[in-house]
């Protein structure tokens, strides 16, 4: 929009676009008071630059809000220059009014977006620094590879790897193993995981490498891989294995010493040999169960594995139950109970008469393990009613040791031992 004003500041000419903006007829231009269309709050934004330009007869620029002929408020940017006649007399100003309303709104929105972006970028940088620190502490490296196995992105790996395959960058047998893992992942829909052992400057290292095909890639695909340094964990596992073997050896020695003390005391006290033999068998069973757990270094043991290990030497005993992992603290007591049941059956019950016995278990919704030993025949009434140490072991001692319940009953020629063991129970002995 073009305009011209005289030396007093009044309009002398307005082009068609400017007349349309203000709704001024061509023959009424010199009568039009453009200053009246300024918003009251913005008049000072124009008065200062306009007045100074007129007084000093120099260019000026300003920006303010005007009310258009249709009542809409628009933001106009004014740029003006003085004009003179041939004799150098000041004739007024000629200028341009540019509607910058949408531009300023867009600039404001852009400034707000940039501010938000700056905050987000700052937060992202903080997260990235923490991520880098965490992965460095954890010993985690990550990389992305194209279909030719070349590095296209790497974290925790030197930048010089970019554009090269692991066999080219790392070299040797390790590089070939890494290539093989990536190649397998490229052809698979599943995550490929493998632990690699190698030596660096004579020091053994273990890395757990995982790789998967990248989704959304082209037909040839790509691979995302991670490598976690598990050297410290493996070294600790080796130390624990040594400690477990040493502990197992010492536990066996303790049981052997206890057994020797019992046998020696029995000779002096005149205790029956049958009692000594039974106690020795029970000590050996406890030692075997504890030895197996310590040697394996586990905090849980499979119920089927424990049952077969304890009853494997006994014929005609059927074993059945779902897959259950029993806390290691309960395993010796379950093994001792099974040994007691099998030994008694071989001496007095169904197994002594070549009949069968059944041991089974189940787990209910409260995560409680239910155990049951059943013998269909063989027990005499007089023996079944006998309440000796074996009965005490299978009931009160077992219940207290496992934090559960146990009962031994005989009816209609059938011996039945049942127990309920909370799998999260703590030992109270």
Residue linked to tokens 């991520």:
131
pLDDT at residue 29 tops 70: yes
Q: Which domain holds residue 43?
A: 2-99
Identify whether residues 316 and 423 lie together within a single domain. yes
**Is residue 146, in this structure, part of any structural domain at all?**
yes
**Is residue 133, in this structure, part of any structural domain at all?**
no
Residues ≥6 apart with Cβ < 8 Å to 206 = 195, 196, 197, 229, 230, 231, 233, 234
**Is residue 127, in this structure, part of any structural domain at all?**
no
Q: What is the pTM of this model?
A: 0.42
Domain total of the chain: 4
Kindly report the CA angle at 126 between 121 and 128, in degrees rounded to 5? 90
Write the pLDDT tens digit of every residue in 276-315.
Answer: 666 666 666 666 655 555 544 567 888 898 888 888 778 8
SS (H, E, C) 349-404: CCHHHCCCEEEEEEECCCCEEEEEEEECCCCCHHHHCCCCHHHHHHHHHHHHHHCC
Identify whether residues 239 and 349 lie together within a single domain. no
Identify whether residues 224 and 243 lie together within a single domain. no
Give 367 or 19, the one with higher predicted confidence: 19
Closest CA to 349 of 320, 373, 332: 373
CB 93 within 8 A of CB 86: no
Cα 384 from Cα 343, distance rounded (Å) = 14
Classify residue 193 as left (phi > 0), alpha (psi -120 to 50) or beta: beta
**Is residue 104, in this structure, part of any structural domain at all?**
no
Identify whether residues 332 and 385 lie together within a single domain. yes
CA dihedral (261, 267, 270, 275) positive or negative: positive
**Average pLDDT, integer, range 51-58:** 96
What pLDDT sits at residue 88? 94
Model confidence band, residue 215 (pLDDT cutoffs 50, 70, 90) = confident
**Average pLDDT, integer, range 145-161:** 90
**Average pLDDT, integer, range 395-413:** 88
**Which residue among 290, 313, 329 closes a domain?**
290
pLDDT at residue 133 tops 90: no
Model confidence band, residue 386 (pLDDT cutoffs 50, 70, 90) = low
């Amino acid at each position: 929009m073009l305009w011209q004003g005289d030396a007093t500041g009044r309009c002398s000419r307005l082009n068609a676009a400017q007349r349309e903006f203000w709704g001024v007829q061509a023959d009424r231009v010199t009568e039009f008071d453009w200053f009246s269309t300024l918003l009251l709050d913005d008049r000072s934004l124009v008065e200062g630059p306009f007045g100074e330009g007129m007084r000093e007869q120099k260019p000026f620029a300003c920006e303010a809000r005007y009310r258009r002929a249709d009542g809409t408020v628009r933001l106009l940017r004014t740029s003006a220059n003085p004009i003179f006649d041939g004799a150098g007399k000041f004739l007024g100003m000629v200028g341009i009014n540019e509607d910058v309303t949408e531009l300023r709104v867009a600039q404001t929105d852009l400034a707000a977006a940039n501010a938000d972006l700056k905050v987000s970028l700052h937060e992202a940088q903080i997260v990235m620094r923490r991520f880098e620190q965490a992965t460095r502490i954890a010993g985690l490296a990550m990389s992305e590879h194209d279909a030719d196995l070349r590095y296209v992105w790497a974290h925790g790996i030197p930048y010089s790897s970019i554009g090269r395959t692991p066999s080219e960058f790392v070299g040797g047998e390790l590089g070939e193993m890494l290539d093989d893992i990536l190649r397998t992942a490229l052809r698979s829909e599943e995550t490929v995981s493998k632990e690699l052992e190698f030596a660096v400057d004579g020091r053994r290292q273990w890395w757990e490498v995982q790789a998967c095909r990248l989704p959304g890639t082209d037909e040839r695909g790509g691979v995302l891989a991670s490598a976690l340094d598990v050297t410290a964990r493996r070294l600790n596992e080796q130390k624990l294995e040594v400690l477990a073997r040493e502990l197992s050896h010492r536990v066996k020695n303790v049981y052997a010493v206890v057994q020797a003390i019992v046998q020696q005391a029995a000779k002096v006290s005149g205790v029956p040999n049958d009692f000594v033999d039974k106690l020795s068998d029970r000590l050996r069973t406890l030692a075997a169960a504890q030895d197996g757990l310590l040697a394996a270094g586990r905090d849980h043991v499979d119920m089927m594995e424990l049952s077969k290990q304890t009853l494997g030497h006994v014929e005609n005993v059927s074993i059945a139950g779902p897959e259950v992992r029993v806390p290691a603290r309960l395993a010796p007591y379950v093994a001792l109970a099974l040994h007691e049941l099998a030994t008694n059956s071989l001496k007095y019950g169904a197994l002594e008469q070549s009949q069968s016995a059944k041991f089974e278990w189940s787990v209910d919704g409260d995560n409680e393990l239910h155990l049951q030993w059943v013998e269909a025949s063989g027990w005499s009434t007089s023996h079944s009613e006998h309440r000796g140490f074996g009965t005490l072991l299978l009931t009160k001692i077992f219940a207290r040791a496992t934090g559960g319940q146990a009962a031994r009953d005989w009816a209609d020629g059938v011996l039945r031992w049942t127990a309920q063991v909370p799998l999260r129970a703590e030992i109270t002995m």
